[in-house]
A and B are shown apart, each in its own frame.
Chain A
Amino acid sequence: MFSSAVRRVVRRSFSTSKWSGAQQMTVRDALNSALDEEMERDEKVFLLGEEVALYDGAYKVSRGLWKKYGDKRVIDTPITEAGFAGIAVGAAMAGLRPVCEFMTFNFSMQAIDQIINSAAKTFYMSAGRVNVPIVFRGPNGAAAGVAAQHSQCFGAWYSHCPGLKVVSPYNSEDAKGLLKAAIRDPDPIVVLENEILYGVQYPMSDEALSKDFVLPIGKAKIERVGKHVTLVAHSKAVEQALEAANELAGKGIEAEVINLRSLRPLDIDTIVQSIVKTNHCLTVEQGWPHCGIGAEISARISESEAFYHLDAPVIRVTGVDTPMPYTKSLEIAALPQMSDVVFAVNKVLGLQ
């Protein structure tokens, strides 16, 4: 009881949005209400994937939707990722707005040809005549104890490709606002959710509870204001960044935490402005380092005027460069923890 109250207070202090009296909502419910509201708003929106209807979704994100909208709008498909991703692409080409759920993004590799060669490139190849308004969504990145084939971050994979937009929500407001924006968008969008965050409650502002709440795609959010160092993160890594910022605050170091929200387009301007102020930057992500999101941010900083404001090199805090181990202790060691971020910040600031 006491510890949960502390957690809540701590979490509130992380957020820059208005929290007093704010309603709490899990990320799962935020995604569910986003789907529900958009399906109600537009007849053309429909959900398809494995177990999404009768079973309410493998992670219960689509709870109650099949009962409300029926077989035509919430479709359980046979187990063929390439099949239902392709069907979603075809339905989008014909004017519907499919939301295609992957049970996890790890399984989306079976369908990656449809996502990249067809969904992402058709608008360009058809010279602007056929757009593919489609949302590919599902849990991404490491969960817990599910080992190498179920613990991969696809942020870098999908944001590599022009034609796709990629969003990676952290909390409930992000999840609702970004998913709703994605469903309304004319381009194909990959929404990378996080399985562990599904059950976590976050405050929802009155604005975020409204049916008209959408977040701009391509815009990052400053989760915490600081002046000594910039921490850039997305999805669950935002949590580690915020925890680290809290820890560092006790030692008089004020870290600015940027929640990317979108991986493509990438809001480099917000990062640059922050570095001009802090002169130090670290990236935090659960994905692998090689050609990762942190690598891209680091390169973009070097190519921008922010480079001349840096007092130290940009450091990436990432998942380790190995398939995810199954062993619990090794799994923890393979993912960036709060202490790793604190250690890296101290190093960048020359404090150890």
Chain B
Amino acid sequence: MIEKILFKYGKRMYFKDALLRQAQRQFRDTATNAKIDTNNPSFLGIQTVFTGELRIIDEQCYDPLPIFRILHSSHEHVQLPEDFKLDENTLIKMYRKMVTLNIMDKILYESQRQGRISFYMTGTGEEAIQIGSAAAVTLEDVIYAQYREAGVLLWRGHSVADFMNQCYGNCKDASKGRQMPVHYGSKKLNFVTISSPLTTQLPQAVGTAYALKRSKKNTCAICYFGEGAASEGDAHAAFNFAATLECPIIFICRNNGYAISTPTREQFKGDGIAARGPAYGIPTIRVDGNDVLAMYYATKVARECCTRSEKPFLIEAMTYRIGHHSTSDDSTAYRSSDEIAYWTRYMPIIRYRSYLESVGLWCEQRDIELKKHVKTSVLLAFTEAEKERKACWKELFTDVYRTMPKHISKQMYSMEKHVAEFHKHYPLHFFKQA
């Protein structure tokens, strides 16, 4: 499963599990117990191999990293790995969550277009990465997401109403309406609040992984990011720190082809993000992110490896962003609608549904019922959230510091007096009472 490519004298050699571990062990031994050899010094930190042949290593020297997948276009050949254990209920639950995410996205996207919420970001076409990976980890594991991982939170138990309340920033929103829509967070579900500046979550997730390692709870951090975010300096810092500090973290890169409008061919050269993993000393898998079962299995293997060895793991999940970057973007300005139509055929939901039907777990009738049910419940939660009042206006002053400092309490007191005197001029009924 886990393949690492080593190059030796220009030959292409693939080492699988056992062989790989042996090679790694030998490398460690030579690095730490370098023998004194007057003719051939052993350089620090690398495996020293001398050659008389001057060779330039470039990406042509080795095959591209293969993409792991389970669901082929034709379901006759689907063969699940031997230790693939998911019961029927979980398989169906995965499909239901993917559909829920998709429908919720559509409704919230439309509501932004109608001016009901200020902003939204969809995960259309990327449902498999979120649901597949989320199903493979535990609630004790800590999630650091970017902004396109609502599905992960949905899988962990965030209700549709929770999502709606956050997008509306009403008084039931756990973040008190302080964040832009889609910047979800849940302490209960170990899902760290989304940060807008790109890639800050990577080093932070490594720090959390370090804390988890110290706690000896046998858990890990899971950190999501896009291939565009991987260009930030923070990504380098995070990979290198995770490797050198040996932190249990799974980096999941959603390579969806575009960073807002910048296509991957302008984002990086070389063999994607996965090729960077071995260079940092991080075991890596490239997986078909449109295949929910492959995503589940790859994450499961990564988690086992990660918690067992207390070391980092990198997954590059290949997918395509069918939706626009956000509601502030119109992607037809930089890509053709033919391209979008092409990838729509490979939508993970379609592929997974067809697999479930082929094994007799799903049918047209159930699909219609599910979609109808989800739509009704999302719309209901949506209407409820819209009717809800805003958080108490006093929340404007809280949570800057654990104990409110004098200069802030003075401001709050002065506003209290002002509101008491001029309450008739303010729409106080829109706000929750203190």
Write the residues of chain A forming the contact surface with B, with a CB cutoff of 8 angstroms.
72, 75, 77-78, 80, 82-96, 98, 113-114, 117-118, 122-131, 162-163, 165, 185-187, 218, 265
Contacts and interface: CB of A to CB of B under 8 A. Distances in A.
A165 B402 CA distance: 11
A114 B210 CA distance: 17
B210 A87 contact: yes
A159 to B, nearest CB: 12
B276 to A, nearest CB: 15
Nearest to B249: A90
Contacts of B398: 128
A128 B395 CA distance: 10
B192 A93 contact: yes
A114 B204 CA distance: 9
Contacts of A89: 203-204, 207
B240 A92 contact: no
Nearest to B408: A162
A186 B405 CA distance: 13
Contact of B205 (A82, A90, A123): A90
Contact of A125 (B142, B193, B204, B207): B193
Contacts of A122: 193
B195 interface: yes
B187 A86 contact: no
A122 B178 CA distance: 11
A88 B207 contact: yes
19 contacts: A72-B214, A83-B203, A83-B234, A83-B238, A87-B245, A89-B203, A89-B204, A90-B144, A91-B207, A91-B211, A93-B192, A93-B204, A93-B207, A95-B211, A114-B203, A126-B187, A127-B174, A130-B187, A187-B402
A124 B399 contact: yes
**Most chain B beta carbons < 10 A, residue from A86, A88, A89, A130:** A86
B200 interface: yes
B402 A83 contact: no
A94 B214 CA distance: 11
Interface residues of B, number: 47
A129 B187 contact: yes
Given A83-B237, A87-B203, A117-B200, A124 B400 contact: yes
Given A80-B237, A118-B195, A127 B399 contact: yes
A149 to B, nearest CB: 19
Interface string B124-154: 0000000000000000001010000000000
A98 B211 CA distance: 10
A126 B399 CA distance: 9
A130 B193 contact: yes
Contacts of A78: 237, 240-241, 244
Interface in B4-44: none
Nearest to A122: B193
A129 B407 CA distance: 22
Contacts, number: 140
A87 B193 contact: no
A123 B212 CA distance: 21
B200 A77 contact: no
Contacts of B203: 82-87, 89-90, 114
Contacts of B237: 78, 80, 82-84, 86
Contacts of B395: 127
A263 to B, nearest CB: 13
A113 B205 CA distance: 16
B185 interface: yes
Nearest to B207: A90
A242 to B, nearest CB: 28
B401 interface: yes
B153 to A, nearest CB: 14
A118 B193 CA distance: 10
A339 B200 CA distance: 46
B241 A84 contact: yes
Contacts of A84: 203, 237, 241
B312 to A, nearest CB: 13
Contacts of B158: none
Contact of A94 (B208, B233, B406): B208
B322 interface: no
A86 B185 contact: no
A86 B244 contact: no
Identify the 8 closest CB pairs spanning chains A and B, nearest first. Answer: A86-B203, A90-B207, A83-B237, A90-B204, A87-B207, A94-B211, A91-B207, A128-B399
Contacts of A265: 405-407
Interface in B237-259: 237-238, 240-241, 244-245
**Most chain A beta carbons < 10 A, residue from B176, B237, B400:** B237
Nearest to A76: B244
Interface string B386-420: 00000000010011111001110000000000000
B187 A80 contact: no
A186 B398 CA distance: 15
A128 B176 CA distance: 9
Contacts of B400: 123-124, 162-163
A125 B179 contact: yes
Contact of A75 (B144, B236, B245, B401): B245
Nearest to A300: B407
Contacts of B174: 127, 129
A187 B405 CA distance: 12
A82 B178 contact: no
A92 B207 contact: yes
B164 interface: no
B236 to A, nearest CB: 7
A131 B403 CA distance: 12
A127 B175 contact: yes
B418 to A, nearest CB: 18
Interface in B162-205: 174-176, 178-179, 183, 185, 187, 192-193, 195-197, 200, 202-205
A165 B401 contact: yes
B405 A218 contact: yes
Contacts of A72: 214
B181 to A, nearest CB: 14
A183 to B, nearest CB: 14
B206 interface: yes
A187 B401 CA distance: 6
Contact of B207 (A82, A86, A126, A185): A86
